[in-house]
A and B are shown apart, each in its own frame.
Chain A
Amino acid sequence: MALSRSFVLGQHYPGTSVVHRSGALVKLVSTIALMIGVFVATKTVQYIPIAFFLVVGIGVSRIPLRFFARGLKPILFLIVLTVVVQIFFTPGTPVWQFWFVRVTREGLGLAGFILCRLVLLTLVSVLLTASTSPIELTDAISDLLKPLSHIGVPSAEIALVMSIAMRFVPTILEETERIIRAQVSRGARIGEGSLVVRMKSFIPILIPLFVSSFRRADDLAVAMEARGFRVGSPRTRYHARHFQSFDAFILLGTAAALSGVILWRLFL
């Protein structure tokens, strides 16, 4: 229980907003385009079109800001480190000096630029994963890979493997907890003692986990074949999705934001 609760999977925040209901492929393409835009920009002000589009998206999605803050937490250390390095180690005109520590105007500018870049990249991807279920996302990735199947990449199979893997992450976490409880009840001490002892204490957890995973995989294969699955045969989708008007809005907005950045960089 504790393990699966503390482990936020794929960071999905279910909802019914326009952002949630629009197509996963559209959102994935938009996210990639926005990320390209973030890297195209060379000055902080050039982020404005992307930031504007992102703020509108976050507002419309009705996902609480707290959720985005939590998404930033894992990379907080990285952000602080890069910002500090930029502030103190960029040569240029000093604005503040104490002994050998020197803060330059260029350093502050660069730090702000990097800060915006990291925050924007994270927020864009959090918005995607928060508003799209993992299954929708894998479908979108498989759509994106589809053209590659003409040159022999098994895109449908890759997508299937990914979605099965995601489907079983919570199941296997639950199984792990079950096994830990059983071994602890048999006097196992997990994560105590020297490194070697600690590594050894994982054997009674890992082996049962492997055994049950193989058994599960076997059962799943039989169940899939019993329901007519064959590798390489064409598949239809249960949730067929059609292009909708707000998909067009997202694509247009993305195109506008991306071209805004490019034009700004080229001509201003």
Chain B
Amino acid sequence: MSIDLKNVDYVYDSGEPFEYFALRGISLHIDDGAFVGIVGRTGSGKSTLVEHLNGLLFSTRGDVIVDDEIVRNERTVLAKVRRRVGIVFQYPEDQFFAETIFEEVAFGCRNYGFSKEQVDESVHKAMSTVGLDSERFLSLSPFQLSGGEQRRVAIASVIAMGQKYIILDEPTAGLDSGSKLAVLAELESLRQTANVTVILVSHNMDEVAEFCKQVVVLDGGTVAFQGSTDAFFRDAGLVDRTGLELPQSYRLARALKECGSTLTVNECSTDRMLDSLRLCVSDLGGA
């Protein structure tokens, strides 16, 4: 089971003189249980692509296939697809409407006809996944929380539905650095414990390098790269051509290499980079 896109085009004003290809010939494969990053400069088609995956938009040409189901504008198909693919949009706390956090998180579960016990269980589980104490929070109003807490409740309101694929569009935008890392770590643990596929749309390359094993790079509505995140960031020319930035760790590694240093660092994450650097430096000190 997986998400596959086959030669997908999405055209605004198709056939008109001002037709505009938002997506052009996109072919993709996203494995179950992966943590995939979708990156690209502003206007490269990331959000348009993501909205194809749960049937908010439909391709002009080509097929979007979610677990053998071709996404079409038919009620039964859409119900099935949306039951499997959840999206946390940018600034998801803007969608809050309920009087209590419990009601907010339970909204999706109720829409999918969960029984009362299932709703209770899903809400508690989702709250603990995003690191919020059910006892303390569930009876509060979602509007009286801090920004970081609101973001977590919004994420919980999607993951409570127990979908197989969770797409997050810039989930860490506007959060302080501590909350950023915590939110992403919670998603990683969700992926490991519940075998949920996480698709992360992000502009923050440090995040992508640290959490996404695979990456899809969009440029001008086409796929510029698809594969291992490490391979992408090692190709500094491609990173530059697609309008992206190298993560800090890869920049340091490059700089060390360029000045012929014998120091080597682990690029995969900032923490590991610091660890490997510490190791190297203590080796030097010992020598």
Chain B 65-107 per-residue mask, 1 if CB under 8 angstroms from chain A, else 0: 0000000000000000011001101001011110000000001
Q: Is A189 on the interface with B (CB-CB < 8 A)?
A: yes
Q: Verify B82–A208 contact, CB threshold 8 A.
A: no
Q: Verify B111–A187 contact, CB threshold 8 A.
A: yes
Q: Verify A182–B112 contact, CB threshold 8 A.
A: no
A173 vs B41: C-alpha distance in the bound complex, in angstroms?
Answer: 26
B90 — nearest CB in chain A belongs to which residue? A178
Q: Verify B56–A185 contact, CB threshold 8 A.
A: yes
Q: Known interface pairs A179-B94, A211-B96. Does A189 touch B87 (Cβ–Cβ under 8 Å)?
A: no
Q: Verify A185–B97 contact, CB threshold 8 A.
A: no
Chain B 98-125 per-residue mask, 1 if CB under 8 angstroms from chain A, else 0: 0000000001100110000000000000
Q: Verify B161–A183 contact, CB threshold 8 A.
A: no
Q: Give A180 Cβ to nearest chain B Cβ, in Å.
A: 9
Residues of A within 8 A of B56 (CB): 181, 184-185
Q: Is A203 on the interface with B (CB-CB < 8 A)?
A: yes
Chain A 56-85 per-residue mask, 1 if CB under 8 angstroms from chain B, else 0: 000000000000000000000000000000
Q: Is A18 on the interface with B (CB-CB < 8 A)?
A: no
Cβ 8 A contact of A204, one of B82, B107, B158, B161: B107
Cβ 8 A contact of A185, one of B87, B94, B143: B87
Residues of A within 8 A of B89 (CB): 178, 181-182, 185
Residues of A within 8 A of B161 (CB): 186-187
Q: Verify B97–A186 contact, CB threshold 8 A.
A: no
Residues of A within 8 A of B107 (CB): 186-188, 204
CB interface residues, A 189-231, toward B, < 8 Å: 189, 203-208, 211-212
Q: Verify A178–B94 contact, CB threshold 8 A.
A: yes
Q: Give A66 Cβ to nearest chain B Cβ, in Å.
A: 14
A184 vs B95: C-alpha distance in the bound complex, in angstroms?
Answer: 11
Q: Verify B82–A184 contact, CB threshold 8 A.
A: yes
Chain A 235-253 per-residue mask, 1 if CB under 8 angstroms from chain B, else 0: 0000000000000000000
Q: Verify B97–A203 contact, CB threshold 8 A.
A: yes
Q: Verify B111–A186 contact, CB threshold 8 A.
A: yes
Chain B 127-144 per-residue mask, 1 if CB under 8 angstroms from chain A, else 0: 000000000000000010
Q: Verify A211–B108 contact, CB threshold 8 A.
A: no
Q: Verify B95–A204 contact, CB threshold 8 A.
A: yes
30 A-B pairs with CB atoms under 8 Å apart are A175-B94, A178-B94, A179-B94, A179-B95, A181-B51, A181-B56, A181-B89, A182-B89, A183-B95, A185-B54, A185-B82, A185-B89, A185-B158, A186-B107, A186-B108, A187-B82, A187-B108, A187-B111, A187-B112, A189-B111, A203-B97, A204-B95, A204-B97, A206-B97, A207-B97, A208-B94, A208-B95, A211-B96, A211-B143, A212-B94
Q: Give A119 Cβ to nearest chain B Cβ, in Å.
A: 29
A177 — nearest CB in chain B belongs to which residue? B56
Having A182-B92, A186-B111, A187-B82, one finds 12 other A-B pairs with CB under 8 Å, namely A178-B89, A179-B95, A182-B87, A182-B94, A185-B87, A186-B107, A187-B111, A187-B112, A205-B97, A207-B96, A211-B96, A212-B94
Q: Known interface pairs A181-B89, A211-B143. Does A186 touch B157 (Cβ–Cβ under 8 Å)?
A: yes
> Top 10 A-B pairs ranked by shortest CB distance?
A187-B111, A207-B97, A186-B108, A182-B95, A185-B87, A204-B97, A182-B89, A187-B108, A187-B112, A208-B97
Residues of A within 8 A of B86 (CB): 185-186
Choose among A187, A189, A204, A205 the residue with the greatest number of B CB atoms under 10 Å from its CB: A187
A188 vs B51: C-alpha distance in the bound complex, in angstroms?
Answer: 16
A113 vs B112: C-alpha distance in the bound complex, in angstroms?
Answer: 58
CB interface residues, B 136-188, toward A, < 8 Å: 143, 157-158, 161
A203 vs B112: C-alpha distance in the bound complex, in angstroms?
Answer: 18
CB interface residues, A 129-175, toward B, < 8 Å: 175
B83 — nearest CB in chain A belongs to which residue? A187
A178 vs B96: C-alpha distance in the bound complex, in angstroms?
Answer: 13
A203 vs B99: C-alpha distance in the bound complex, in angstroms?
Answer: 12
Residues of A within 8 A of B92 (CB): 182
A78 vs B161: C-alpha distance in the bound complex, in angstroms?
Answer: 49
